Amino acid sequence: MRQTAAVKRQLAIGGVAIGLPAVQAALSGYSDLAMRTVAREHGAPFAINEVVLDALVLQKGKLQRRILNVPEHDHPVGGQLMGSQPETFGQAARELVRAGYDTIDINFGCPVNKVLGRRRGGWLLQDPDTALAIVQSVLDAVQGDAPVTVKMRRGSDDSPVAERRFWEILDGAIERGVAAATVHPRTVAQKYVGPSRWRFLKQVRAHVGDFTLLGSGDLFSAFDVVDMLRETGVDGVTMARGCIGNPFVFAQVAALLAGDAPLRPTCAQQRAAIERHWQVALPFYGDPRRALPPVRMHVIKYGQYHPEPIWAREQLVRVRRPEDLLERVAEVFADRFDEGRDRELRREHAVAPALQDCREG
């Protein structure tokens, strides 16, 4: 018989009250203001900006201004940093706090080769001294004005040495005062190949006691979220690939936790979410031509949840001009496909989106 843990219905990170124990992860190239806004409006209680390099936070210019622009409606929001130098890491963390980010997350998980080659992200799991120096630098710079968290994988590889380093970094971060940790139970060497080892999260849960622990990995539907919460005992989960083109997942999680049947989005709801995404993206990027590429990536993902997903994707990938976007969306997500009827979400409706880059740590 499968053992399950009691699910905590209310998540908090340090002094930041979050609520629903399912939040939007930092997704490189995806979790910009537009994605976060749409996710919040569909039930996400907390969202993390896409991972940014510490150097870019400190480098004056248009990109810095975009990173440090936190609107009033975008709270609570986390800022995730990646880098290799403790001093600049701390300086960048301080700038994020000054800008209004509610939590600061340190990325020790990204497995992409170009990141590892620069001794950032998941590479730091091989170097506990530098990793913990970064943690201390960030804590010193933030000075308690925002909770500091870490995002980790379960090691650089499957070797005993890698596992010892994981525990050294996790324990050291907790001892220094981080408020929470998110653990993705794949190794850096695995990247996204093979299933994530959820049983490792149970091991971490037992090891850290009451310390706030979040899990990630293979969360493609609301059912996966509830399964991870129950099977591992984590306090919350960070959703990455599973919420691209699917902001409805947060309300579905809430329904399952309340004992209700989750519903699939109607075409009208998908259409409205995309229109809202475009509305927020236009001023954020400043020009329709610059806004289209990031929005188009999301729109194509929405097609995976369409009643006819293969056809929908074929239509959506043809969008090449800003002026064609909403017209094509209206055609693809027309009411005739479901007549506006609510349909219950079932496990078999889940999809496993492909991932080709450092979208989540």
Q: Is the pLDDT of residue 341 over 90?
A: no
Q: Is residue 359 part of a domain?
A: no
Looking at residue 352, its pLDDT comes to: 55
Q: Are residues 268 and 240 in the same domain?
A: no
The rounded distance, in Å, linking the Cα atoms of 360 and 271 is 26
Q: Are residues 226 and 333 in the same domain?
A: no
- Mapping DSSP onto H, E and C, the string for the chain reads CCCCCCCCCCEEECCEEEECCEEECCCCCCCCHHHHHHHHHCCCCCEECCCEEHHHHHCCCHHHHHHCCCCCCCCCEEEEEECCCHHHHHHHHHHHHHHCCCEEEEEECCCCHHHHCCCCHHHHHHCHHHHHHHHHHHHHHHCCCCCEEEEEECCCCCCHHHHHHHHHHHHHHHHHCCCEEEEECCCCCCCCCCCCCHHHHHHHHHHHCCCEEEECCCCCCHHHHHHHHHHHCCCEEEECHHHCCCCCHHHHHHHHHCCCCCEECCHHHHHHHHHHHHHHHHHHHCCHHHHHHHHHHHHHHHHHHCCCHHHHHHHHCCCCCHHHHHHHHHHHCCHHHCCCCCEECCHHHCCCCCCCCCCCC
pLDDT in tens, 181-191: 999 999 999 99
Q: Are residues 97 and 81 in the same domain?
A: yes
Catalytically annotated residue among 110, 243, 267, 358: 110
Q: Is residue 358 part of a domain?
A: no
Q: Are residues 252 and 334 in the same domain?
A: no
Average pLDDT, stretch 254-259?
Answer: 96
Q: Are residues 162 and 248 in the same domain?
A: yes
Q: Which of 7-16, 74-83, 203-212, 293-302 has the lowest mean pLDDT?
A: 7-16
Q: Are residues 20 and 113 in the same domain?
A: yes
Crossing angle between the packed helical segments 288-302 and 33-41, to the nearest 10 degrees: 40
Looking at residue 6, its pLDDT comes to: 64
Q: Is the pLDDT of residue 355 over 70?
A: no
Q: Are residues 34 and 171 in the same domain?
A: yes
Looking at residue 348, its pLDDT comes to: 78
Q: Is residue 3 part of a domain?
A: no
pLDDT in tens, 25-60: 999 989 999 999 999 999 999 999 999 999 999 999
Q: Which residue has the tokens 């609520």?
A: 19
**Structural domain of residue 112, as residue ranges?**
11-260
Q: Is residue 349 part of a domain?
A: no
Q: Among this protein's residues, is 110 annotated catalytic? A: yes
Looking at residue 193, its pLDDT comes to: 86
Q: Are residues 306 and 225 in the same domain?
A: no
Q: Are residues 169 and 98 in the same domain?
A: yes
Looking at residue 351, its pLDDT comes to: 67
pLDDT in tens, 68-106: 999 999 999 999 999 999 999 999 999 999 999 999 999
Q: Is residue 282 part of a domain?
A: yes
Q: Is the pLDDT of residue 354 over 50?
A: no
Average pLDDT, the chain: 93
Residue 4's pLDDT band, with cuts at 50, 70 and 90, is low
Domain boundary among the residues 239, 260, 281 is at 260
Domain boundary among the residues 243, 260, 277 is at 260
Looking at residue 343, its pLDDT comes to: 87
pLDDT in tens, 297-336: 999 999 998 989 999 999 999 999 999 999 999 999 999 9
Looking at residue 168, its pLDDT comes to: 98
Looking at residue 172, its pLDDT comes to: 98
Q: Are residues 189 and 148 in the same domain?
A: yes
Domain boundary among the residues 260, 293, 325 is at 260
Q: Is residue 231 part of a domain?
A: yes
Q: Is the pLDDT of residue 12 over 60?
A: yes
Q: Are residues 183 and 281 in the same domain?
A: no
Greatest CA span in the chain, whole angstroms? 59
Phi-psi region of 144 (alpha: psi -120 to 50; beta: other; left: phi over 0): left
Q: Is residue 353 part of a domain?
A: no
Number of domains observed in the structure of the chain: 2
Strand partners, 82: 53
Q: Are residues 76 and 156 in the same domain?
A: yes
Q: Is residue 350 part of a domain?
A: no
Structure tokens at 88: 């600049």
